[in-house]
Amino acid sequence: MTELSILLHPDPRLKKISIQVTNIDERIKKLCLDMIDTMYNHSGVGLAAPQVGVLKRVVVMDCSDDGEKSPVTLINPEIVWSSEEVSKFEEGCLSIPHIREEIKRPSSVQVKFTDICGISKESYFKGLWATCIQHEIDHLNGKLFIDYLGPIKRSFITKKMKKYKKEIIKK
Ligand SMILES: [Zn+2]
């Protein structure tokens, strides 16, 4: 498997809307496996294809907390129902390292998607899983979790990230 490089905010590709996957071919399957590997290597709980520079509607995640790996791949995920009840979680993002902020989102969601074998499915997510899938679907629509923050906080984080990117380039 190949370790993919993760785009860091700010990057224009992270603001783009990703396109639907029409054919789950070998290239898409390899992308999913490489994304799962990359997510684990960075100790992330979710990763969306645009974060690795591929503007396709593919998400991988694993929010299990029992030490067992249980990766889930969602192709063309779509929220078909979300709860009125909301929950707050401290979110982070592999494209915005070292930043964590509390974000309010629906506590549970019902998601329609296609799995890696091309089978249409619908799953109910709650807790961290629900937050994670909403965060990842936002990526497919060019939206970052910091877009939920006020403009002052957001521009502060963006400035910090620009500085961080310059520093890692120097190394
Ligand atoms: Zn993210």
Q: Is the pTM of this model over 0.95?
A: yes
- Coil, helix or strand for 127? helix
* Cα-based distances in Å from 1 to 30, 48, 67, 74, 107: 8, 17, 22, 19, 34
What string of pLDDT tens digits covers the 171 residues of the chain?
789 999 999 999 999 999 999 999 999 999 999 999 999 999 999 999 999 999 999 999 999 988 899 999 999 999 999 999 999 999 999 999 999 999 999 999 999 999 999 999 999 999 999 999 999 999 999 999 999 999 999 999 999 999 999 998 776
Gap between the Cα atoms of 76 and 133, Å rounded: 12
Per-residue tokens: 44: 């992330």
140: Cβ contacts below 8 Å, ≥ 6 apart: 17, 18, 48, 49, 50, 57, 59, 77
Q: Percentage of residues in the chain with pLDDT exceeding 70?
A: 99
Q: How far, in Å, is the centroid of ligand 1 from the Cα of 43?
A: 13
Superfamily of domain 12-170: Peptide deformylase (3.90.45.10)
Alpha carbon of 95 to ligand 1 centroid (Å): 6
Distance 23 CA to ligand 1 centre (A): 25
Tell me the domain boundaries of the chain. 12-170
Question: Is 26 an annotated catalytic residue?
Answer: no
Catalytic hit among 68, 78, 122, 136? 136
H helices, E strands: number in the chain: 3, 7
- Asked if residue 12 has a cis previous peptide bond (ω within 30° of 0), the answer is no
Are the CB atoms for 5 and 165 separated by under 8 Å? Answer: no
Could you tell me whether strands 86-93 and 96-106 are parallel, antiparallel, or unpaired per DSSP bridges? antiparallel
Ion ligand 1 contact residues with beta carbon within 5 A: 93
Closest residue by Cα to residue 54 from 4, 122, 124: 4
